[in-house]
Amino acid sequence: MRGVLLAAALILSTGAVSGQETPVPVQAPVLTVDSERLLTDSLFGVQLDQSVAAASEALSAENSTIEAELEAEELALTELRPSLSPEEFRSRADQFDSKVQEIRAAQAAKAREITSRQTAGKKTFIQQITPVLAAIARERGALIVLERQQVFLSAESIDITLEAIRRINSLMAQDSERTGDEPSVDQTPVEQR
């Protein structure tokens, strides 16, 4: 117990604890970063979320249109039933069911593609920001950068999340200026130079 208290006192004496004032960059062998916040608060992450949301909304609208068309087709088939032989009706109903299953499979594949794009975007983001995090770690004399969510208690001064977000956004803006394009998640925006 005494060791835990000593460790807590040491951490607290090296800077503000998480949730307090803005940290002053310090030299430290251990740094922390909130990777989820890097993604959600950076331009890249915001654009990725917007891209996924737009694709999801478009798919949802497409699904609504298809659903309305299928309901109309089903109603028409139901209204034809009295005028058809049981065999003819069964044949048309089976064709309709097959069509519905094919459409469901195609729409499910589109939804999986959106999820895959989001997953690939996150993976690309992590690969691209690694040099940024490595540069910050070198500058701060760190030997390791830990995921902040996995750390029980730490001084705010060893958290590099905000600094990393600023650098990532700056690099995206520089790449945008260099290429003349708007920053985009489809580009390769983040490299430590």
pLDDT given at position 116: 97
21 within a domain of the structure (yes/no): yes
36 within a domain of the structure (yes/no): yes
192 within a domain of the structure (yes/no): no
Q: How many angstroms separate the Cα of 177 from the Cα of each of 1, 99, 108, 140, 167?
A: 55, 49, 38, 29, 15
Q: Which residues contact 192 (CB under 8 A, 6 or more apart)?
A: 131, 132, 134, 135, 171
Contact 8, 139 (CB under 8 A): no
Domain count, the chain: 1
Q: Which residue stretches of the chain have pLDDT < 50?
A: 1-20, 186-193
65 within a domain of the structure (yes/no): yes
Look at the pTM and tell me if it is higher than 0.95.
no
pLDDT given at position 79: 95
DSSP 130-185: HHHHHHHHHHHT-SEEEEGGG-SS-BGGGB-HHHHHHHHHHHHHHHHHHHTSPP-T
Residue 97 structural domain: 12-179
189 within a domain of the structure (yes/no): no
187 within a domain of the structure (yes/no): no
Question: Which one, of 154, 159, 166, 140, lies nearest residue 22 by Cα?
Answer: 159
pLDDT given at position 1: 43
C-alpha span between 97 and 86 (Å, rounded):
16
174 within a domain of the structure (yes/no): yes
| Pure H helices in the chain | 2-13, 35-41, 43-80, 86-140, 161-179
pLDDT given at position 183: 55
C-alpha span between 146 and 34 (Å, rounded):
9
pLDDT given at position 189: 40
In one letter, which amino acid is 53?
A
Question: Which one, of 22, 12, 19, 50, lies nearest residue 162 by Cα?
Answer: 22
